[in-house]
Structure 1
Amino acid sequence: MIISKNWLNELIDLSTFSTDELVKTLNSIGFEVDGFKEIRVPDNIVVGYVRSRQKHPDADKLSVCEVDIGSENLQIVCGAKNVEAGQFVPVALIGAVMPNGLEIKKAKLRGVESCGMICSSTELGLAKINDGIMVLDESIGSLELGKKIADFECFNDAIIEIDITANRGDANSINGIARELAAKLDLNLKENTPYEDAENLPGIGRIVSLHADENVQSSVVYKALQIHENLSENLLTKLRLAVVECDKTCVIERLLEYVTYTTGVLLRAYDYDKIATNDKVLFSIKSGKNKECEIYADSQNLGVAGVYQDKICKVDENSKIVIVAASYTDPNIIAEFVGENKNIQKDAELYRATRGSEPNLNYAMDYLFKKLATSKQVSLYAGAQQYLAKKEPKMLNITLAEINKMIGYEVARSEIVRILKKLGFAVVFNQELESINIKVPLFRHDIINSHDICEEIVRLVGIDNIPSSPMKFSEENRLNDTYKRYKFALDLRKKSASAGFFESVHYVFDSADELKILGFTPCKAQIANPINNELNELRPTLINHLLSSAEKNIKNQKRSAKLFEYGAVFSQNGDQSSRFGFIHAGLLKEPSLANGVKIAEVDFLSFANSIKSVIGDFNLSKSDEIAYLSPFEQAKIYKNGVEIGYIGRLHTKFEDLRDLPKTYICEIYFDALNYEPIKAVPYSKFPSISRDLSLIVPNDMEFRLIKEAINELKIPTLKEFLPVDIYRSNELGKNVSLSVKFTFQDMNSSLTDDEVAVLMDKILTQLNEKLSVSIR
């Protein structure tokens, strides 16, 4: 956005502040200055009056002018097409040095002497306003012949270009920037008196009436004016519109652009003659699909407020009666409407509307009509037709303690109140609660919560004025159950890979036909649009996919398929849970020159040890419930007394069906596992002693009974005992010889043979009494 110090001075007195101070202030309150330049018209350029203009005798494009500068009349040869007698013009006298370095000297042009130069705006270092000389008028001040141009305030200006962030639509006008500077510099905005209709003016109700639906959320105000002759704009308006690069050509539209740029209110102009029916215009405003405000004249759609205007109703240089419309629509509504209508042409009005325009519509109307009130080219209509949507301002409450905690610095209560009031907030302080009730003005749609209020205070106090404090490198513990479960699963996956399993990943969908063969009941939650017939049901197990992957590996010349998967499964009712699945088919490992070519097949014990290296120690309980496992080699897995899965060999009929060699599978219910951190335990520095014991036990006795009987003794030095051999013979009949290896170790001393012998006798006595088991 481009602003000028002189333009700002109309709304706030900045005469005591230099350009450098303004630039620094704007940067400090969040409006980054991209660049600035100071305008200074050179000396020896004065106000002149063209008394006569004659055509040059030897040049068609030159004119010979007699110019009065007060102290004398000068003859000046001018090449501008628009120079005429009766004009006040800027005259560069002999000796003047122009901004481009040109020095004015007495010269002869085609034989005619010229004593000076009538200047254009660009020759004075100003923005271009036309293709000829700059004609002066009293909009810049009182015109006195011979007065230096440099003495006029508008020619001693500073042009500043600033960045306005998208959320600060309220600052996208001269009025908005003036309000910000007033808050920072503790100044008051100049009083804005409302325009009062003069007596005997025709009422607008004669030519305009307005109807609005009750659900319309936009505000509109209509006023009217009549143009008696060709309307022209004054020099000051031309210069300022040139600075802000206004590209409109119609005088009415340029005038409205000037008012909008000053006030921030969106203005549109309608040609009365193009939309009137029976000498009157009936405006109606309706709420559109996205709550946008649609404008109608009778049944003719004239556009959407703040978005676009139909070309058929626009004003031009021939317009006689003009209806001026000011409007305000919530920028969120505008953005939603534009988002669904990509073909809308973008212009300055739409840019302002999407970022938030000024909602005080009468402010712009008063400014416009006071500007036109003294013009003889325009007659004004009294009154207005308006519809103002009812929108309650947002209310926020925040305590002083909260403000100071967020800022990290204690700002005085009076300073907080002053800043907020200067910015347009209504503030009520609660002495008892030490809190502030804040009413957010409608033009600050970006203020949502107390954090935004603190940002406004910091912005105006100045971040440089808040003392720094050391950063505290402390943070709340963000670890939660979800993260811990994720890390636990990741750890198990790493352990699985370390145990020689390769990870596989499959869809959560599975084949209903294959699951039925394995004996699974279909899930009640059906897939409405399955990927294909092989993935048409939510999987209740990881095993079927693992079997398919192992089958493909074996058919691709792999001798050992060792896979695992971690993923989601679904119960019959559609409840989701997580599981780990393992499979080992074929040999214990792939044959190679390093490990030889004769490798044993996988067996239950080796497979169970692989699972143990992943999940830790566990207990097994005999089972025959799982139909797709061998009834002779399957078990349920328990850990800390909780069932966490199952393990076993795939039934031979399914091995044959899948063309698989000897295959073992395991499925762990991950949700039943608990993370057990590794704990350091003391170890003995003394040697251990081992003893083997051969027992005569019934052939059908489970080792579990022997283990339970021995554990009842609670021998502290007994570290472990494991079966190491089973011997069967006809001599033993229905009994077998079971060899068990016992390992003893003491924490405090070396055990003697006699001490171990006593313990072995104690164990034998327990087995004999409890299970009738004797030594061989």
Structure 2
Amino acid sequence: MIISKNWLSEWIDLSDISTQTIVNTLNSIGLEVDNFKSVKAPDKVVIGKILEKTKHENSDKLNICKVDVGNEVLQIVCGAKNVEEEQFVAVSLIGALLPNGIEIKPAKLRGVESMGMICSSSELGFGKSNEGIMILDESIGELVLGKALNEYELFNDEIIEIDLTPNRGDCLSLYGVARDLSAALDLNLKEINVLKDNENSVGIGRILSIKNNTKLDGLFTYKALEIKEKFKLNIVIQIRLALVQKYKNSPIENLLSYSTHATGVILNAYDFHKLCKECQVDEKVVLEIKVQEHGEYGIYYNDKLISLAGIEQKDEFKINDDSKIIVIEASYIHPNIVANALAYYKNKNDMNYHTLRGSEPKLSLGIDYLSNECLKIENISIFSGIQQVFCDIEEKIIGIFTSDIDKIIGMPIDRNILVKILKKLGFEISAINEEQINVKIPLHRSDIANIADISEEILRIIGIDNIPSRALEFKEKNRLNKIYFDYQDLKNLRLKASHNGYFESIHYVLDNEEELNFLGFKCIKNKLINPITSELNTLRSTLINHLLKAVSFNLKNSRKKIKLFECGSVFDEYSVEHSKFAMVYCGFKEEAKISNKAKPAAIDFYTFLAEIKSVIGDFTMQKSNHCFLSPYEQANVYKNGKCIGFVGRMHLSIENKRDLIKTYVCEFDVENLKQEFKIVKNYSKFPSMSRDLSILIPKGFEYDKIKKAIIKLDINILESFKVVDLYTDESLGDFYSLTINFVFRDFEKTLEDSIVIEQTNIILQTLNEEFGLNLR
């Protein structure tokens, strides 16, 4: 986007603002300046008037001109085709240095002296504005012969080139840039002084009517012009268009381009007589707006497509230098509609470059600006009135709390300043209460979607350099909930099992009902209506069945030591889901090797229990009666007073049926295997004393009774006790010798033997009184 400071001053008063300040401001508000430069006519270039023109005797293309430059009349040889008498022109005097490096010196051209040069706009560094020399007019101000050209604002300007991001289509015009500058510099935009149409002019309704039967997501306004004779644009329009690289050869196209660059409103032009080739002035053309296949809007005349609004126009209806009556169309189409359509048409041009990014929806601004320029031209008459297509485009409203804006930006923003900035940027504000406001998003800012976008608008105007820096804070919602802890507990179980040499096994949640019933597990009462196979015809009620199949498979593949575990879901008879953890150990304690002479010992119950303890921690056992386990090696497992599952060797009949060797299994409720946090306790600095008591107990007597009786005594100095030996021989008959190790410790003093003996006697006395047990 290229802007001229003088042209920009039509929209905002920049008389007291330096170009460097403007550049810095544009950069700070996100409109990055890619380049800026001064464009000034060279010194010794003055205004002159051609008094006389005669043909050069020795050249068909050269003319000898007498040029009045105020204090003298110079003879200048000129080769431009458009040079004529009475023209005001730019004259480079002797000694002038042009931008292309040429210094003007006295010269002889085909034998005729030339004391200067009549210049074109491109030779003075202002770009190409026409074919031939630059013809001046009073649009630049009063033409004073001999006055330096660079004393006129038009020829002493600043050009700024802005590199816009794709979402800032609202700044593809001088009006859009001025709107942002007005907020950043706290200046007011200038109002356009709209010139009135001739009261005696023909109304547009006499020649044009618009038809629309669909709900549009766009805006349309139509105006009509009549070109009485060919005309030329004033030098201001020519030079400005040349500077911003928008100059075209057609005067009416230049007018449209000039108005669009100034206002951002998309303007399109149709040749009236190409629409209705036999129409007279008083005949009416009816244009119809229709929705096309991909959502874009087509403009039709007599069911013939003449243009796609905001995308492209059919060549056969475009204007040219011979056009007499011209229908001007101003339109606004939502960028999303244009984007969807261009995905199919893939036709890129200046029009859809603007509409794809978002054009100016204030159509009256573009129509009025164009009308003002046309009314300054005698050869153009304007049809009075306009034709419009009204549609209610719903503007998005975002409710915001000013405190939320403060949090996003990082500092408190005065509410009045906040509202002032948004209003200057074109937002409509309505207050709900002291804290909350509603912000209506203008159509020209289709990129604004939420409070973060609004905060960004305020931030870029205030300036990020004006926000005090502070330490970056990372805040995250506490995610240490039940789901997380359950996941961690299960992960820890799997890791511990893996560290003990167990491999994880994963199976389907479906199982065989007959096999589960044989093992003694209850299946779900609700039968599966459509099982995937006859072998997987129910939901599993245990993990054991699949693990046994995996063990059998490994045995058949010559594996002699098999350690597997699985975590998964099982379902009770009421189809309620539970999480289980199961382990299986089959075969030998170790692989065959030299140290065991290739005859490793088979796994035993105590070895399996030790490995379970290293996985789930301390536990106790009580007698159980599971039909699928050996009656001699099985137990229910308790942890923290709750039964969490079972452990034992598979029943011999099941081992034989499934071709298994010695196999131990366990299965626990995951819900009761929670991670145990270590509780810190005080410890005594005094030494402990240990005593072993060997007690005769009848065969079949449960140790748990002894344990509960000792705990019930609540002996303060008893730190711990445990079974260390179980012995029997013929001399003991129907009794076992159970050796229990007791550890005593006092927190206040060193224990004496007499105290320990006293406490052991209390223990023995209690066991004797309650169970009739004595020392061996």
Superposition TM-score, scaled by structure 2 size = 0.82
| Stretches of structure 2 lacking an aligned partner (at least 5 in a row) | none
8 Å contact kept, 1:54–1:65: yes
Q: How many Å apart are 1:651 and its aligned residue?
A: 6.2
The Cα offsets for residues 482-517 of structure 1, whole Å up to 9 and x where unpaired, read as: 44444444444444444444567x5xx738566875
| Stretches of structure 1 lacking an aligned partner (at least 5 in a row) | none
Equivalent in the alignment of 2:23: 23
After the TM superposition, which residues 200-349 of structure 1 pair with which residues of structure 2 at under 5 Å, given as runs? 200-213=200-213, 215-230=215-230, 233-246=233-246, 252-276=252-276, 280-286=284-290, 293-302=297-306, 304-310=308-314, 313-335=317-339, 337-338=340-341, 341-349=343-351
CA gap of 1:705–1:463, structure 2 versus 1, over 3 A, is same
CA gap of 1:693–1:477, structure 2 versus 1, over 3 A, is farther
Q: How many Å apart are 1:715 and its aligned residue?
A: 3.8
Equivalent in the alignment of 2:92: 92
Q: How many Å apart are 1:561 and its aligned residue?
A: 4.4
Matched to 1:745, the amino acid is: F
Equivalent in the alignment of 1:381: 383
What SS does structure 2 have at the residue aligned with 1:221?
A: strand
1:14 aligns with 2:37: no
Equivalent in the alignment of 1:722: 723
CA gap of 1:447–1:57, structure 2 versus 1, over 3 A, is same
Q: How many Å apart are 1:310 and its aligned residue?
A: 4.8
What SS does structure 2 have at the residue aligned with 1:103?
A: coil
Partners in 2 of 1:349 and 1:108 — Cα distance? 49
Task: Report how many residues are paired.
Answer: 763
What SS does structure 2 have at the residue aligned with 1:712?
A: helix
CA gap of 1:709–1:13, structure 2 versus 1, over 3 A, is same
Equivalent in the alignment of 2:67: 68
Equivalent in the alignment of 2:146: 146
Q: How many Å apart are 1:600 and its aligned residue?
A: 3.4
Equivalent in the alignment of 1:737: 736
8 Å contact kept, 1:583–1:663: yes
8 Å contact kept, 2:91–2:119: yes
What SS does structure 1 have at the residue aligned with 2:123?
A: helix
Partners in 1 of 2:254 and 2:57 — Cα distance? 39
Partners in 2 of 1:537 and 1:59 — Cα distance? 108
What SS does structure 2 have at the residue aligned with 1:365?
A: helix
Instruction: Determine which structure has more spread, i.e. the larger CA radius of gyration.
Output: 2
CA gap of 1:738–1:186, structure 2 versus 1, over 3 A, is same
8 Å contact kept, 2:173–2:261: yes
1:462 aligns with 2:460: no
Partners in 2 of 1:626 and 1:139 — Cα distance? 110
Partners in 2 of 1:632 and 1:4 — Cα distance? 100
CA gap of 1:577–1:13, structure 2 versus 1, over 3 A, is farther
CA gap of 1:474–1:12, structure 2 versus 1, over 3 A, is closer
What SS does structure 2 have at the residue aligned with 1:122?
A: coil
Equivalent in the alignment of 1:689: 690
Partners in 2 of 1:115 and 1:523 — Cα distance? 114
The Cα offsets for residues 171-230 of structure 1, whole Å up to 9 and x where unpaired, read as: 332111111212222222111244533222222223322233463332222222233455
CA gap of 1:679–1:373, structure 2 versus 1, over 3 A, is same
8 Å contact kept, 1:90–1:118: yes
The Cα offsets for residues 418-474 of structure 1, whole Å up to 9 and x where unpaired, read as: 4343333445668x84765655444344445555554444433333344x3653868
Partners in 2 of 1:356 and 1:232 — Cα distance? 32
Partners in 1 of 2:270 and 2:637 — Cα distance? 84
Equivalent in the alignment of 2:746: 747
Partners in 1 of 2:251 and 2:322 — Cα distance? 11
The Cα offsets for residues 556-596 of structure 1, whole Å up to 9 and x where unpaired, read as: 77654445566677889988776555444444455667998
Matched to 1:328, the amino acid is: Y
CA gap of 1:223–1:760, structure 2 versus 1, over 3 A, is same
Question: Which deviates more from structure 2 when the two are superposed, residues 32-41 or residues 494-503?
Answer: 494-503
Equivalent in the alignment of 1:443: 444
Matched to 1:189, the amino acid is: L
Partners in 1 of 2:159 and 2:129 — Cα distance? 16
Q: How many Å apart are 1:271 and its aligned residue?
A: 3.8
Root-mean-square deviation (CA), in Å?
Answer: 4.5
**Percent identity at matched positions?**
43
The Cα offsets for residues 526-579 of structure 1, whole Å up to 9 and x where unpaired, read as: 99999x999999987766776677677767776544455666778899887765
Matched to 1:172, the amino acid is: L
8 Å contact kept, 1:689–1:751: no
Matched to 1:108, the amino acid is: K
Equivalent in the alignment of 2:369: 367
Q: How many Å apart are 1:96 and its aligned residue?
A: 0.6
Partners in 1 of 2:655 and 2:616 — Cα distance? 26
Matched to 1:185, the amino acid is: L
8 Å contact kept, 2:513–2:538: no
CA gap of 1:605–1:356, structure 2 versus 1, over 3 A, is farther
Q: How many Å apart are 1:14 and its aligned residue?
A: 0.8
Equivalent in the alignment of 2:508: 510
Equivalent in the alignment of 1:190: 190
Partners in 2 of 1:300 and 1:446 — Cα distance? 34
Superposition TM-score, scaled by structure 1 size = 0.82
CA gap of 1:513–1:107, structure 2 versus 1, over 3 A, is same
Partners in 2 of 1:351 and 1:577 — Cα distance? 61
The Cα offsets for residues 140-198 of structure 1, whole Å up to 9 and x where unpaired, read as: 44444433221221221111122334443333321111112122222221112445332
Equivalent in the alignment of 1:419: 421
Partners in 2 of 1:372 and 1:595 — Cα distance? 110
What SS does structure 2 have at the residue aligned with 1:159?
A: strand
Equivalent in the alignment of 1:357: 359
Q: How many Å apart are 1:332 and its aligned residue?
A: 4.5
Partners in 1 of 2:582 and 2:83 — Cα distance? 95
The Cα offsets for residues 61-104 of structure 1, whole Å up to 9 and x where unpaired, read as: x5234152434444444555665666544332211112233211
Partners in 2 of 1:74 and 1:14 — Cα distance? 39
The Cα offsets for residues 748-768 of structure 1, whole Å up to 9 and x where unpaired, read as: 355555555554554455455
What SS does structure 2 have at the residue aligned with 1:124?
A: coil
Partners in 2 of 1:80 and 1:590 — Cα distance? 106
8 Å contact kept, 2:230–2:321: yes
8 Å contact kept, 2:511–2:537: no
8 Å contact kept, 2:67–2:76: no
CA gap of 1:618–1:379, structure 2 versus 1, over 3 A, is farther
CA gap of 1:122–1:487, structure 2 versus 1, over 3 A, is farther
The Cα offsets for residues 659-680 of structure 1, whole Å up to 9 and x where unpaired, read as: 7654444455444543432222
Equivalent in the alignment of 1:114: 114
Question: Which deviates more from structure 2 when the two are superposed, residues 352-361 or residues 97-106?
Answer: 352-361
8 Å contact kept, 1:217–1:293: no
1:617 aligns with 2:618: yes
